Amino acid sequence: MRLVTEHDGEPTDDVSALRREVWVARDAAIGATAELGTARARVAELEVLVDQLRTELARQDAEMSSRAVRIALALARPLRRLRGVT
């Protein structure tokens, strides 16, 4: 490996190669940061979806446990048995 000296003033091939490696590493870091941002946005979307699904399940559970629904299901049970639907 040849070092840069004061009299030639030009960077050596080794220095140029190292600079290129640094640029490649920098570009990879920038790309990884962008991918991380995309992944975080997707996680946020999925968290919202999970919250919506939990809310809907709670609503359905409350609806199914209401007295009116239980009475309607009890009244329909003999008809469902006649039709062969359980």
Residues 6+ apart with CB under 8 A from 13: 2
Q: What is the pLDDT of residues 33-82, one digit of tens each?
A: 999 999 999 999 999 999 999 999 999 888 888 888 888 888 888 888 88
Q: What is the pLDDT of residues 13-46, one digit of tens each?
A: 889 999 999 999 999 999 999 999 999 999 999 9
Please tell me the pTM assigned to this model.
0.55
Residues 6+ apart with CB under 8 A from 10: 4
